[in-house]
A and B are shown apart, each in its own frame.
Chain A
Amino acid sequence: MTIAFYTLAAFILALGVLVVSTKNTVHAVLFLVANFLCVAMLYVLLQAEFLAVIQVLVYAGGIVVLYLFVVMLVNLKRGPETHVDPRRRDRMGLLIGGAVLAEFVAILLYGFAPRATGAAPAAAAPGVGNVEQVGWSLYVDYLVPFEVASILLLVAMIGAIVLAKKEP
């Protein structure tokens, strides 16, 4: 359990760094797939099997294919990052990112220092699988947000078609 977590965490962070730092966009997309798959394995470790399957289906299967299509459609004659705005401050971006990370870690250390894990968690319903639990919560307690999310996806689909359509 512990070893699995540390291995997955190392892979997730290393692949994230590679996604951000690789010059070749196709390689970046492939690293992104590997990153999503590692996150899916982390979900399995966290006993969220349904979400792990959704992660593989939607992220690694759907969104990444979309990215690959766009990378192939956008074939650039000159390099994508040749032109540099003189007012751009890359160091500042790194600095802000590092500052945010330091802040997060400080908050976490401060928040988790006195008590290790918090109160005892409530006992789960015995004999009920993860998928069943998620289904009950999704279709009973969160039915209206679920329908709103489906409308959001419909709007996004129509919007993407309208945006990507060639001008007549």
Chain B
Amino acid sequence: MTPITPAHYLVLSAALFSIGLIGVLVRRNLIVIFMSIELMLNAVNINLVAFSQQWQHVVGQVFALFVVAVAAAEAAIGLGIILAFYRNKETVNVDEITLMRW
């Protein structure tokens, strides 16, 4: 078998990102859409860490740490919005969230 190059990691991360993208575009459950966004952020982190290992430079891992921090903030705010919305409308279906849609 060929040794693992960064290209392998990049292909894996691209595939994971695409899975998350399809989830965001296809699913209608708001919570599942948020989980798909987490998948996409994870794909980006795999990219950063793969390059960090390729160049033997630790900055990629530091950036991945910042991505994790932003993901945590995003999850907290997003789930707060989901709860507030559920309290008003009793639904988490994005097809019923049409108040500000053109």
Contact = CB atoms under 8 A, between A and B. Distances in A.
Interface in A1-58: 1-3, 5, 9, 12-13, 16-17, 19-20, 25, 28-29, 32, 35-36, 39, 42-43, 46-48, 50-51, 54-55, 58
Contact of A70 (B22, B27, B82): B82
**Interface size range of chain A in the complex:** 35 or more
B interface majority secondary structure? helix
A interface majority secondary structure? helix
A162 to B, nearest CB: 8
Given A13-B16, A93-B25, A32 B35 contact: yes
Given A35-B39, A54-B68, A66 B55 contact: no
A92 B101 CA distance: 19
A98 B10 CA distance: 16
B92 A63 contact: no
A94 B73 contact: no
A138 B11 CA distance: 28
Contacts of B36: 19-20
B61 A51 contact: yes
B22 A117 contact: no
B12 to A, nearest CB: 5
A106 B36 CA distance: 23
B25 A96 contact: yes
A168 interface: no
A101 B73 contact: no
